[in-house]
């Protein structure tokens, strides 16, 4: 039979059937098959376009776009050409994947991420991240813009994400089959790579704060009362992304690291009113410095043996 036209190739079913005792039934299985096929097609396209996978993939959040200019020998592909990737409608994000190297480290940079507030679905990045993992990427390095909850961390500050709070308590793994969905989040942000990043900041005399990132669904900004509550919970920064992608990456088996750029104080902590435009403006003002640290960090990852070989 030619190419299983209209029907599904047997190998897709084989993958979903791995744990028959865990299956919820045919509905779940049927929902998985087209997604698995899109991931397989995407991985093939990535292999054909770029060859072997880089060890590191980076999601460029608002204010971090300048980092893409640091990629040497860069080749680009639009998300539209990658069936498992979803384009984003957010201003300041580019829906393209750039692959090349910074120093001796090969890297794939995702110009944009699908946010939960665009659709209500927090698994918008699932196809992209699973494709990158299946291609061979080992580390997901996330960047974002965030509101600061701490007076000692003003706009322009950089924060290394050491932990997160999933405030909406939504999961991109709802509906996933098998026991792998019960992901251990005890050390979601990779301890070895956190130590590596701290050392780099110290060596370069870059002021790098550390803290807990809280995911707020958005797209509206928070109220002052919400910000007071989040700070009391132990959050240090608030933003509308990153947490679903960390969960997806850990589920897939990738290591995760994250950097937040403070673009404003949380609502009620300063007299300024919050707008996306003001956030982008502040991100642009301090984004060059952040992008340079990101580029140096990526380059330094070439010296981390556990990411290579
Ligand atoms: N709240 C939520 N998301 C954000 C903020 C904020 O104050 N700043 C940048 N992204």
Query: Residue 133 Cα, ligand 1 centroid: separation in angstroms?
Result: 29
How long a stretch of residues is the chain?
309
3-class DSSP state for residue 192?
A: helix
Query: Residue 148 Cα, ligand 1 centroid: separation in angstroms?
Result: 8
Q: What is residue 11's predicted lDDT score, i.e. its pLDDT?
A: 37
Query: Residue 221 Cα, ligand 1 centroid: separation in angstroms?
Result: 6
Which residue minimizes the CA distance to atom 7 of ligand 1? Answer: 147
Q: What is residue 279's predicted lDDT score, i.e. its pLDDT?
A: 79
Q: Compute the distance between CA of residue 55 and CA of residue 277 in angstroms, rounded to an integer.
A: 34
**Closest approach atom of ligand 1 to CA 216:** 2
pLDDT in tens, the chain (309 residues): 333 333 333 333 334 333 433 444 455 556 678 889 999 999 999 999 999 999 999 999 988 888 989 999 999 999 999 999 998 777 767 789 999 999 999 999 999 888 999 999 999 999 999 999 999 999 999 999 999 999 999 999 999 999 999 999 999 999 999 999 999 999 999 999 999 999 999 999 999 999 999 999 999 999 999 999 999 999 999 999 999 999 999 999 999 999 999 999 999 999 888 888 877 788 777 778 899 999 999 999 999 999 998
Which residue minimizes the CA distance to atom 6 of ligand 1? Answer: 147
Q: What is residue 17's predicted lDDT score, i.e. its pLDDT?
A: 36
All domains of the chain, ordered by start, with CATH?
Answer: 54-303 (3.40.50.1580)
Q: What is residue 92's predicted lDDT score, i.e. its pLDDT?
A: 64
Which residue minimizes the CA distance to atom 5 of ligand 1? Answer: 147
Q: Compute the distance between CA of residue 196 and CA of residue 205 in angstroms, rounded to an integer.
A: 14
Which residue minimizes the CA distance to atom 10 of ligand 1? Answer: 146
Q: What is residue 88's predicted lDDT score, i.e. its pLDDT?
A: 79
Query: Residue 262 Cα, ligand 1 centroid: separation in angstroms?
Result: 8
Pocket of ligand 1 (CB under 6 A): 145-147, 216, 221-222, 238-240, 263-264, 266, 274, 279
Query: Residue 145 Cα, ligand 1 centroid: separation in angstroms?
Result: 7
Q: Which of 142, 156, 158, 216 is the best mutation target for the ligand 1 pocket, counting ligand atoms within 8 Å of the beta carbon and taking the most?
A: 216
Q: What is residue 29's predicted lDDT score, i.e. its pLDDT?
A: 58
| Burial class of residue 226 in the structure, from the number of CB atoms within 10 Å of its CB (0-12 exposed, 13-18 middle, 19+ buried) | middle
Q: What is residue 4's predicted lDDT score, i.e. its pLDDT?
A: 38
Q: What is residue 28's predicted lDDT score, i.e. its pLDDT?
A: 55
Q: What is residue 233's predicted lDDT score, i.e. its pLDDT?
A: 98
**Closest approach atom of ligand 1 to CA 264:** 8
Please state at what angle helix 126-135 crosses helix 26-50, rounded to 10 degrees.
50
Q: What is residue 274's predicted lDDT score, i.e. its pLDDT?
A: 80
> Can you list the alpha helix ranges (DSSP code H) found in the chain?
10-16, 26-50, 116-119, 126-135, 191-204, 224-233, 243-252, 276-300
Cβ atoms of residues 149 and 266 within 8 Å: yes
pTM: 0.89
């Amino acid at each position: 039979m030619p190419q299983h036209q209209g029907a599904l190739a047997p190998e897709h079913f084989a993958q979903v059937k791995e744990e028959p005792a865990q299956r919820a039934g045919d509905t779940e299985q049927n929902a998985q098959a087209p997604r698995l096929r899109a991931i397989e097609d995407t991985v093939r396209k990535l292999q054909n376009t770029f060859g072997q996978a880089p060890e590191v993939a980076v999601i460029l959040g608002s204010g971090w776009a300048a980092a893409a200019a640091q990629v040497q020998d860069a080749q680009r592909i639009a998300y539209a050409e990658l069936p498992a990737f979803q384009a984003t409608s957010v201003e300041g994000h580019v829906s393209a994947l750039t692959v090349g190297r910074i120093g001796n480290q090969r890297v794939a940079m995702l110009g944009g991420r699908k946010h939960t507030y665009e659709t209500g679905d927090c698994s918008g990045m699932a196809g992209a991240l699973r494709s990158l993992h299946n291609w061979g990427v080992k580390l997901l390095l996330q960047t974002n813009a965030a509101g600061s909850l701490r007076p000692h961390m003003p706009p322009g500050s950089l924060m290394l994400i050491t932990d997160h709070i999933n405030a909406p308590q939504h999961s991109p793994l709802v509906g996933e089959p098998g026991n792998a969905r019960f992901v251990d989040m005890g050390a979601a942000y990779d301890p070895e790579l956190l130590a590596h990043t701290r050392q780099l900041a110290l060596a370069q005399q870059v002021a790098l704060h550390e803290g807990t990132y809280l995911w707020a669904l958005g797209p509206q900004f928070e109220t002052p009362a919400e910000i007071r509550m989040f700070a009391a919970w132990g959050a240090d920064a608030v933003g509308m992304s990153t947490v679903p992608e960390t969960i997806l990456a850990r589920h897939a088996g990738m290591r995760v690291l994250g950097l937040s750029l403070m673009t404003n104080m949380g609502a009620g902590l300063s007299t300024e009113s919050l707008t996306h435009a003001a956030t982008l403006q502040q991100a642009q003002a301090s984004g060059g410095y952040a992008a340079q640290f990101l580029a140096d960090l990526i380059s330094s990852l070439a010296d981390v043996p556990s990411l290579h070989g």
